[in-house]
Chains A and B, each alone.
Chain A
């Protein structure tokens, strides 16, 4: 088992190196940081001098080695755009994204399971079919359209919810949270729904399919034959077996929620790492872009490692199979 985990760890390091290298290659195509650093009206000599100083005239592999060397020493550099240490900025912005992603995940899971169970149990009901149709529309609409639609309805027309920002935040031990103020909670509703909508429909469809499958299985039929109450059958037996694959999927989706919060954060001006990433690309802020990509890769790697580890714990066959 230890060997298995060590091997996975080794693979993870390779993935991180690959991601960092690919992102480094991409930098060559997003523009020239000397322009954002010096301004449009700098002279050619000034530009050349800065290119030299920052090492952009060296070959990409050399620049990359230099960068990896610095990262290994814990130095992520200074943001070109914000003129502050990259690590500080990312850690300041992380709480906003994590709160948004986790709320979206909670929303997707709760509503997805409820609707999934409902549409499975009332397979042919009118409401079920309506929910299924709406979910299809929801899956095919781009995130920003859902966001703008919600803003138009709930902010402009009804004026119930704020159209942008995070509301008031409270600092608890270095963590800026919006979960403890009413304006913070109000500001969270629309972005969380927007971000979680796709996953909600995904979970709903998964639950529905699994539930239908389980309901057809022998033990449910035997249970029904033995005279168990429908409620116990559905929620005690069928649902529990349905949820195992759902939890696996949901775990993996949390990583994607954080990574894909970019669009939602832009629509709602949610001050998290996604919005930071978009601004950094426009400003050709190479140290920040590199750090963000590495962070997302690290996140995926850690989640996957964790899931693998859980599998090993849960499934005894895996423990025996590894030499």
Chain B
């Protein structure tokens, strides 16, 4: 190349860059917490997943209406053997470092995500083996037929085998390891954005991937993405009002009404994939926090029904949630497989009937109990508990609220130390089995029931729950789900209160649709002229 052509090339490159700059559309995106590590398999938390989705990709993904959409897999089907799923991969995809994406990377990533130190391994509990048939075909063998296996893959990110091994990131780190691994602070995904810089708790900058396979398929209008964690809710809202950020998540409920009135802002709203409920310990012979000795009032179904009838869900929505909740009688949001409108109907609060039931159960004067509540996890969690205590007081159940950070609350749940508690649950698989496995199955049965601190145990129900993981007939499986829900709703050891509502606040010029998982795919975000 002569000097002259080199000069021309440089000039052209310069011109191209300036053209690129003229079209650059930056979105500054704020939310309450930073991701902890960039290693996509270490933690099973929504906050981490949302950021990962910009840089890494999964085989399948979930659209805002809850449907599975092809991503790195073009198609998937159950083979003639019902325990084997086959995925056809997208050709001509490259990782950010230029290495081509192949079936080997999928095999590597799924095995890595199933490793002992990967939190996401619970999503792959049913995977027996994964193997590559050719460069673009992967087969997964499951332990028994698993109808919903692909639903588990929406947050299982695909890493490059070559890159991971070269950077000491072949496995996720264990808690005691002496050094960090190569994926903690760097990424090499196939996604629409490439990491440009990262400062923990401060900012993470991502640039549009110039070689992204989805050019022409997705709008890709956001060319630069700046992720800004802002812990203090007041500061986060202030940053949006002052124009320092363009889009904010985790908006405090009390600010939503005010932000909606701001003509410079756009507030999008939609149901979240998370139900909030009360849980009662039905199995201990005597409650720790109650004045009733020698027996457990919650063991009596009449008492549990009385508790439900004392609670005014509409009042909680109106006064505590400022209208921002969806009251329900079922512990599953509407887009979860198994949701039933009839079962989600809830009774109106009825003090007289509640008192009558308590008297029938032998507690005409009520009893005392402590309600354990988190205070930093769900929307207005502590205020909901305080309201519940007020409602129960009306029927004679003197309830003391004991609130604590989720870090302590969840310990008590795992150890089943509470008599009565507020809790919430999201369903990443969009299938009721995920709720049953953790909240309904007997504690400790085949690794299930880890979050069931109610002590409720029903062998017949357990068998039905276990059967869901290997039932290959969809109609039969759905019937079993319905059957389980009927028992759960009748037994009332959980009292569903409401589903949370998500708010996305942005400047007028961008429109970010609300996703039930609080997820955003910035490649799909469009600027409004």
Q: Which A residues contact B (CB, under 8 angstroms)?
A: 29-33, 35-45, 47, 50, 53-54, 75, 78, 80-85, 89, 144, 148, 151-152, 155-156, 159, 162-166, 266-269, 271, 275-276, 278-279, 281-284
Contacts and interface: CB of A to CB of B under 8 A. Distances in A.
Interface of B: 33-34, 36-37, 39, 42-45, 119, 122, 173-181, 184-185, 199-203, 228-232, 234-236, 238-239, 241-244, 376, 405, 407-408, 410-411, 414, 438, 443-444, 447-448, 450-451
Contacts of A43: 122, 447-448, 450
Contacts of A281: 407
22 contacts: A30-B405, A31-B407, A41-B44, A43-B450, A53-B176, A75-B178, A78-B175, A80-B175, A148-B234, A151-B234, A159-B242, A163-B235, A163-B242, A163-B244, A164-B239, A268-B232, A268-B235, A271-B201, A271-B202, A279-B231, A282-B376, A284-B407
Contacts of B33: 279
A104 to B, nearest CB: 18
Contacts of B184: 82-84
A32 B413 CA distance: 11
Nearest to B438: A41
A39 B37 CA distance: 14
Contacts of A144: 232
B242 A155 contact: yes
Given A38-B119, A164-B235, A282 B175 contact: no
Given A35-B407, A35-B410, A159-B243, A279 B238 contact: no
B238 A151 contact: yes
A274 to B, nearest CB: 11
A275 B231 contact: yes
Nearest to B241: A156
A33 B199 CA distance: 24
Nearest to B185: A84
A80 B407 CA distance: 14
Contacts of B45: 39
A152 B180 CA distance: 40
Contact of B235 (A37, A82, A269, A271): A269
Contacts of A266: 231-232
B201 to A, nearest CB: 5
A281 B407 CA distance: 9
A82 B32 CA distance: 16
Contacts of A80: 175
B238 A78 contact: no
Given A45-B447, A159-B243, A165-B228, A83 B180 contact: yes
A267 B346 CA distance: 41
A121 B28 CA distance: 51
A295 B239 CA distance: 32
Contact of A42 (B119, B177, B231, B376): B119
Contact of A282 (B44, B236, B407): B407
Given A35-B410, A43-B448, 8 more contacts: A29-B408, A39-B119, A41-B438, A42-B119, A78-B179, A82-B184, A163-B238, A267-B234
From B39, B184, B202, name the one whose CB has the most chain A CB atoms within 10 angstroms: B202
A85 B177 CA distance: 9
